[in-house]
Structure 1
Amino acid sequence: MAISNRRSFIIRVASASAAVAAGGLLSACGGGDDDASPSARFDFGVASGDPLADRVVLWTHAAPANGQSTVSLTWEVARDAGFTQVVSSGQVQATAAAGFTAKVDATGLSAGQSYHFRFREGRNNSPVGRTRTLPASGVGSVKMAVFSCANYPAGFFHAYSEAVNQGAEYAVHLGDYIYEYPANGYASQDAVALGRVSSPANECLTLADYRARYAQYRSDPDLKRMHASLPLIAVWDDHEIANDAYVTGAENHTEGAEGAFTDRVAAALKVWHEWMPVRTPDMTDLRKIYRSFDFGNLLSLHMLETRLLGRDQGVELPSLVNPATQAAALASLTSASRQMLGGVQQAWLQQQMAASSATWQVLGQQVLMARMAFPVSILQALDPSNTDPAAQAAGLQAITDYLTAKATPPGSRTPTQQSLLDPALNPQLGYNVDAWDGYPVAREVLLGTANTLGKRLVTLAGDTHNAWHSDLTLLNGTKVGEEFATPGVSSPGLEEYLSAIPPANAASIFTGVIDTLNYADTARRGFLLMTFTPTTATGDWWFVSTVKSRSYTAVLGHSAVFNA
């Protein structure tokens, strides 16, 4: 069998496996063997997203036969799997200019209803998917699965299928849907053994590179099952473009040697909009992906863009803990002009929250907003990039000294312990300055806005690959809301960097040092299942036993309730 035919065969087998796992949702009725001409292939299944009360975006990829540049498709939405009750239909084209992806906004639907949908080309049908519109007022509960950080070479995407198993109604993806690294890059040490070597082999820089990488990810059966089962609301983080991206550059981009950053962003975002089932708010500026979704009067979900619209270049942690550079770095960190969202998006968010009458205001955004501050004495001693046992031992001693001082009654503390707890002598800084801890004034403005408006605030976050639950507080300690952060789908977490510390101990260190942190899991992969009712917002953290084997088990690791 030729290599190209073998690859096609493997993709088709993966599609069939997903169909069985999905209980028939992905079943397709292709044309018979007596078809006179070859038909387009739907190798990557179907997807839906950006649901509203009366419409939803439908997506597919139609690989052309005979080299044509356009594939004409018919789409259908029905109340039943047999498509005897079609409620909306029309035509759409998959063109070479869009990488043979096709998207359409299916309108005329009813609020809070589940539907079946498919695409057809001649006698050839795509797999069948299921989707759901947003509910109208009066809805009693909403369940949404929250995902982040799915690295193909790092392991299998079990979390996507498990969310379907656990009854999620909607899916929210907070970014790092793909990773841009080369085949021998980040978290690829097991890729060959797992049969998950990144393609293309080079780092993604061009339109063709990003298209090939999305195609590989979308060949994954677990991801295809999730897309065919749940409408997705998504936003990108940095790895859809390049690591630690900001408005004018990225840590993982070398201007000139890797082309212009503006060209790379343009290519990456064009492909993201091609492959994701999203409604593009502004075709003239693909960076403007912020948008809101109203789930009746229960919750308003505001999806934010925190990378390419307003984010200033990050302040490096070493410069903050080095006495020689600390003053200048702190001045930059705490500058009133330092931006994360940018003024236009911040004003939009304020307007959206002010106008919303929903019980819950939910921010779907990429990085941790809650304060994750450690004293400088620990940050100077414990460098996550240095996994040498001696270095980690020094870090553990600094942690022990600080926690001992914290637990000692004030009247019994030694002068050294008093110094450790004095913020003037031992200031606290966020250990992850790529998160909102690196943009403290912008965070204070956002949280202050929610507090002034009297809104019940929930933030959803990803990025760290680990699970967190925190209180959201102003600088004066006023609680504004709570943050629920999802673990990564497959990307390794702190257990890799803090390898000398048992995961349970690492979690205890974080919750012991950080007063506003209520829960942490620093070792397991999975997803977050959020359930909203008029009185509670409940986060359930589901973990999979492994991402290194096709066989796995799932467990509910922790639940937390935020009362309205």
Structure 2
Amino acid sequence: MSFARWKRIHKPVWHSDIPEAPLPAKVRKRHQWLHQHIAYDQWRIRHTRSKAAKRRLRRLIAGHRREIARIHAAYAAPASSSPGSTSTGSASTAVIPPPQPNAPEAGFAFFQHGVASGDPLPDRVVIWTRVTPAADATPASGLGPSATVLWHVALDAGFTSMVGSGSFVTTADRDHTVKLDVTGLSAATTYFYRFVFQGPWRDAQVSPVGRTRTTVAADATPAGLRLGVVSCANAQAGWFSAYRHLAARDDLDVVVHLGDYLYEYAPGAYGNGYAQTDIRSHEPPEQATTLRGYRLRHAQYKRDADLAALHVRYPFITTWDDHEFADNAWRDGTTGDSADAITDWAATKAAAQRAYDEWMPIRLEGTVALGDGSTIYRRFRFGQLAELTMLDLRSYRDEQVATPTSAEVNDADRTITGADQMSFLRDGLSVTAPQWRLVGNPVMMAPLQVTSLPQSVRDLLDSLGGGAYLPETQGLNTDQWDGYTHDRSLVLDHIVDQGVRDVVFITGDIHTSWAIEVPYPVTDTLTYGLMGSTAGVEFVCPSVTSNNIKDAVPGDPTSAANLAAGTTAAAAVRAANPQIKYLDFNNHGYLVVDVTPARVQSDWWFISDRADPRATVAWGQSWATSTGTGLVHQLTEPVA
């Protein structure tokens, strides 16, 4: 079929993919011709059997796209910092191409995985989406055409006050994800963003509208900062109601995710409660160990309505823990439950990192470019009030010790941070830093003494999985800082020796809720309160869904017997560890951390039942640390 006849029959509609940019008439006509011929040649590929003809048509399409790229380079605004993206600083109203209800793709959703933003700074923020440009372009398929996605950023949800727009070309090589740094923004400002994709038949669809916010200027003195804090969200163990209730709030600046954003397990492994029941099964139906597997797992989690709602509402600051890779991961392998399925750790680690970089609104190595590095530890400043240091406690650590004698766990040649990250952490813990030094800490910093506990309680602690590993002969958790005490001493000695005050470790991983005074020196925790002082405090958030102590007991996790087991175990642990002031082993939910010059307050919020997609939420307890004290005290109500 000739192009003219094809055009008469199919009536393709064209709209410029160079937003807000005027084109000379001849260039505009050529630009339109190129786009229409790409659609025409793609149609011919689908309707020819000749392999040689298909190859010739693909070469033609590649040539058309190169010419389009040259037009973009000549007439679009200067490129943004993200590869494949062009942007403009126009403040005009965004124009969205009108829908074509008779187009073949009408009714097909291009944006199936939501939108997200992250890593906010005073002048920029990362925005993210994934486009499905064709029915076969499913996640991890490696199929589907390249797609030019438009993006808009505005001061209002109606996009009448535009501050930036541009286009981003994505392909199957990056799983059709779109991630770019929107720059030139104002500090401490709320923005709205969206994406637009025009299908091969020029039917335009608009993504959900996301809301994000930049941080305050470095020299600002904000009255407060409020964080939503989450970790350990296992889809097989329950519904993400905690995300839904956190998204319903309208008082947060940012959401901090401390790791285990997803889980690698196959269906039937590590589900809900003692019976390990899958509330919903993982995709693909095997453990994620390859790029395909991790991409599909990210795609499944991004389709969760509660997680999507939270991403729409707030920017995220994230780090990874072990389950983004494999249970109990360390630098060169894993010692956990998922180790047997892995035959090539280097390939598995690289695949997990690549998928994370593609699918998360984050800068690795300080940029949004894919494949330029894997450094995820970084710092965020909130004026003179606070600074948040996010750690990576998986990529550089030595293997967890199997028999933790004191000589092994305190070996100066073993590390949990690696030398460079240790220097980075200590540099941030300085007397010249902003007032509150917050540390996004994936695994628990404070010591945990368990040798004096009854064996029944130690068995329950052993069940935490992914966070705790407590054989009968073990008096500490070697997956946490307890297994790397030389590195812990480097951190705590530095804090005390340098006179650094107001250090708060905000921690995930262990699926339970804790308020702790970090003792110094760390010797025998049983003497805490009688001698020594503190090097800071630690607040640990509960899991979103992953099993905790009550879930390790046979029976219904919500039964009175199971709840009593968790309560008994918490009381025993507190009695053996006087530095632990609050401990809850029964609940799932999230933490709200509120920072003012006078104090840091943490509110624990718990959902009614993770197995119920309509679970309610209720306030649990609130604890705070006042400036200069290094101690925690209980409060009678959450922040307003």
TM-score bracket, shorter-length normalisation: 0.7 to 0.9
Distance 2:462 2:450 in 1: 17
Task: Give yes or no for contact 2:269–2:276 (8 Å, CA) kept in 1.
Answer: no
| Paired AA for residue 298 in structure 1 | L
Please give the residue correspondences for 1:212-251 in structure 2 after superposition, counting only pairs within 5 Å.
212-251=296-335
* Pair 1:165-2:248 in alignment: yes
- For residue 50 of structure 1, give the secondary structure of its aligned residue in structure 2: strand
Distance 2:474 2:214 in 1: 45
Distance 1:80 1:562 in 2: 37
Structure 1 counterpart of 2:480: 435
Structure 2 counterpart of 1:206: 290
For structure 1, the residue ranges without an aligned partner over 5 or more in a row are 1-27, 321-328, 388-394, 399-426
| Paired AA for residue 448 in structure 1 | D
CA apart distance, 1:386: 8.1
CA apart distance, 1:97: 1.0
Between 465-474 and 372-381, the greater mean CA deviation after superposition: 372-381
- For residue 229 of structure 2, give the secondary structure of its aligned residue in structure 1: strand
Structure 2 counterpart of 1:128: 209
Task: Give yes or no for contact 2:605–2:620 (8 Å, CA) kept in 1.
Answer: yes
Distance 2:191 2:348 in 1: 37
Distance 1:550 1:253 in 2: 28
- For residue 167 of structure 2, give the secondary structure of its aligned residue in structure 1: strand
Task: Give yes or no for contact 1:139–1:298 (8 Å, CA) kept in 2.
Answer: yes
CA apart distance, 1:511: 1.4
- Per-residue CA shift, 1:451-490, capped at 9, x if unaligned? 2332320011111111111011222633111101110001
Query: Which residue of the other structure, out of 513, 535, 554, is the alignment partner of 1:467?
Result: 513
| Paired AA for residue 221 in structure 2 | G
Structure 2 counterpart of 1:306: 393
CA apart distance, 1:258: 2.8
| Paired AA for residue 138 in structure 1 | T
Structure 1 counterpart of 2:231: 148
> TM (normalized to structure 2)?
0.72
Structure number, greater radius of gyration: 2
Please give the residue correspondences for 1:276-287 in structure 2 after superposition, counting only pairs within 5 Å.
276-281=360-365, 286-287=373-374
CA apart distance, 1:154: 0.8
Distance 2:567 2:362 in 1: 39
Structure 1 counterpart of 2:222: 139
Structure 2 counterpart of 1:291: 378
- Per-residue CA shift, 1:137-167, capped at 9, x if unaligned? 1211111111100000111001112112233
Between 86-95 and 71-80, the greater mean CA deviation after superposition: 86-95
Distance 2:337 2:232 in 1: 20
> TM (normalized to structure 1)?
0.81
Taking structure 1 as reference, are residues 30 and 177 closer, same or farther at Cα in structure 2, changes over 3 Å only?
farther
- For residue 512 of structure 1, give the secondary structure of its aligned residue in structure 2: helix
- For residue 339 of structure 1, give the secondary structure of its aligned residue in structure 2: coil
Query: Which residue of the other structure, out of 586, 592, 600, is the alignment partner of 1:537?
Result: 600
- For residue 320 of structure 2, give the secondary structure of its aligned residue in structure 1: coil
Query: Which residue of the other structure, out of 582, 603, 620, is the alignment partner of 1:519?
Result: 582
Taking structure 1 as reference, are residues 559 and 198 closer, same or farther at Cα in structure 2, changes over 3 Å only?
same
- For residue 459 of structure 2, give the secondary structure of its aligned residue in structure 1: coil
Task: Give yes or no for contact 1:29–1:125 (8 Å, CA) kept in 2.
Answer: no
Between 132-141 and 500-509, the greater mean CA deviation after superposition: 500-509
Task: Give yes or no for contact 1:29–1:126 (8 Å, CA) kept in 2.
Answer: no
CA apart distance, 1:30: 8.7
Structure 2 counterpart of 1:483: 538
* Pair 1:59-2:143 in alignment: no
Structure 2 counterpart of 1:323: none
- Per-residue CA shift, 1:492-524, capped at 9, x if unaligned? 101123566532222211211111101011011
Distance 2:301 2:98 in 1: 24
RCO higher in 1 or 2 (8 Å CA, sep ≥ 6)? 1
CA apart distance, 1:272: 0.6
- Per-residue CA shift, 1:8-51, capped at 9, x if unaligned? xxxxxxxxxxxxxxxxxxxx999342346567610011000000
Distance 1:355 1:97 in 2: 46
Structure 2 counterpart of 1:49: 118
Please give the residue correspondences for 1:300-449 in structure 2 after superposition, counting only pairs within 5 Å.
300-309=387-396, 311-316=397-402, 319-320=403-404, 329-354=405-430, 356-375=432-451, 378=454, 382-384=458-460, 429-430=475-476, 432-449=477-494
Task: Give yes or no for contact 1:138–1:297 (8 Å, CA) kept in 2.
Answer: yes
CA apart distance, 1:341: 0.3
* Pair 1:547-2:610 in alignment: yes
For structure 2, the residue ranges without an aligned partner over 5 or more in a row are 1-95, 137-143, 199-203, 464-469, 523-531, 555-561, 628-640
- For residue 374 of structure 1, give the secondary structure of its aligned residue in structure 2: coil
Task: Give yes or no for contact 1:146–1:528 (8 Å, CA) kept in 2.
Answer: yes
- Per-residue CA shift, 1:119-140, capped at 9, x if unaligned? 1113211110100111231211
Taking structure 1 as reference, are residues 507 and 193 closer, same or farther at Cα in structure 2, changes over 3 Å only?
closer
Structure 1 counterpart of 2:566: 503
CA apart distance, 1:60: 0.1
| Paired AA for residue 297 in structure 1 | Q
Distance 2:520 2:151 in 1: 49
CA apart distance, 1:368: 0.7
Task: Give yes or no for contact 1:447–1:473 (8 Å, CA) kept in 2.
Answer: no
Structure 2 counterpart of 1:185: 269
| Paired AA for residue 341 in structure 1 | T
The number of residue pairs the alignment matches comes to 487
Task: Give yes or no for contact 2:365–2:376 (8 Å, CA) kept in 1.
Answer: yes
- For residue 121 of structure 2, give the secondary structure of its aligned residue in structure 1: coil
Distance 2:286 2:181 in 1: 35
